[in-house]
Amino acid sequence: MRTIQFREAIVEAMSEEMRADESIYLMGEEVAEYNGAYKASKGMLDEFGEKRVIDTPISELGFTGIGIGSAMNGNRPIIEFMTFNFALVGIDQIINNAAKMRQMSGGQFNIPIVFRGPTGSAGQLGATHSQAFESWFANTPGLKVVVPSNPYDAKGLLKSAIRDNDPVIFMESEQMYGDKGEVPEEEYTIPLGKADIKREGTDVTIVSFGKIIKEAYKAAEELEKDDISCEIIDIRTVRPLDYETILKSVKKTNRLVILEEAWPFGNVATDITYKVQNEAFDYLDAPIVKLNTADTPAPYSPVLLEEWLPNSKDVIKAVKKVLYI
């Protein structure tokens, strides 16, 4: 199987779907002439032309609304945000129009649209460019939220998101675009709402998603040296969330650590914690531990940023805590 970069998987997913369906187009800042701010649309302008790969002004509110309106009229837009931090400028369109139009129109309008771009921190970008809003969007009925962690999942999930008849928030990372992974050349998709067990284990379940899951992998490698077996679940889709896979794993390992790059109050880990204690309480041999960022805006200082983010050492400490070691 060939190895390609995360950004190449994104390009392939969009291009393959655009070749198959002329109603699909890509719109956003620098997606055309510049090949994408992170080169995640490289070569697409040359193949599909300026009517289907569209550069926009710096006006997220405007092109978000245009995309939603065109989806109501039979198109299937892919709207790229240079970062989801900038999506806040257009969030009224996403929450009050894209997410609600199907219900408010009595089912007359589907909104088959994908909003995609990077989420979370990406080094020293400051507080306003380092935010993770997965839980914000997942809290909204009518939206699906996808956060892949590797090229294979990214391609398969993005193709499914583009084909979906409801609005999908597809969240990537600047720090993952250069990541490499095996991706088949043949056609494949990954269904939304299905988690993946990335590593089998027996002693503790670690649940995570997005780029921060790499810290779980590092921790599991270290813990294995102490004969501690970690099962790692990548939820991949935040909404709909695959609770069944998580519950099944917890009933096997009897312990749960959740790793998420997000502020600690009211996040995805909070919801998973409630679900597990509600439906698998008798299987738990220790309280659930959730690992998040510090409860502050992201610092610019590299030293402070390192402390602000959860890391593999935090995961190791949490695993040992639930194992009473």
Per-domain boundaries in the chain? 2-183, 196-323
The type of residue at 174 is: E
Query: Are 2-183 and 196-323 equal in CATH topology?
Result: yes
CA separation for the pair 290, 154 (Å, rounded): 25
Hey, how many other C-beta atoms are within 10 angstroms of the C-beta on 140? 18
Q: Stretch 53-64: mean pLDDT, rounded?
A: 97
Q: Stretch 119-124: mean pLDDT, rounded?
A: 93
What's the CATH number for 2-183?
3.40.50.970
Hey, how many other C-beta atoms are within 10 angstroms of the C-beta on 168? 28
- Contact present, 48 and 31 (Cβ < 8 Å): no
Which pLDDT score, from 0 to 100, does residue 83 have? 96
Which pLDDT score, from 0 to 100, does residue 259 have? 98
Tens-place pLDDT, residues 251-291: 999 999 999 999 999 999 999 999 999 999 999 999 999 99
CA separation for the pair 131, 177 (Å, rounded): 18
Tens-place pLDDT, residues 144-177: 999 999 999 999 999 999 999 999 999 999 999 9
Query: pTM for the complete prediction?
Result: 0.96
Which of these CATH numbers, 3.30.530.20, 3.10.440.10, 3.30.70.3270, 3.40.50.920, describes 196-323?
A: 3.40.50.920
Residues 6+ away with beta carbon under 8 Å from 285: 254, 255, 322
Tens-place pLDDT, residues 61-104: 999 999 999 999 999 999 999 999 999 999 999 999 999 999 99
Mean pLDDT of the chain: 97
What amino acid positions are annotated as catalytic residues? 60, 129
Residue 40 has pLDDT above 90, yes or no: yes
Residue 1 has pLDDT above 90, yes or no: no
- Residue 34 binned pLDDT confidence (cut-offs 50, 70, 90): very high
Residue 143 has pLDDT above 90, yes or no: yes
CA distances from 75 to 24, 100, 110, 113, 114 (A): 6, 18, 10, 8, 11
Which pLDDT score, from 0 to 100, does residue 251 have? 98
Which pLDDT score, from 0 to 100, does residue 312 have? 98
Which pLDDT score, from 0 to 100, does residue 187 have? 96
- Contact present, 112 and 73 (Cβ < 8 Å): no
Whole-number percent of the chain with pLDDT over 90: 100
Which pLDDT score, from 0 to 100, does residue 253 have? 98
Whole-number percent of the chain with pLDDT over 70: 100
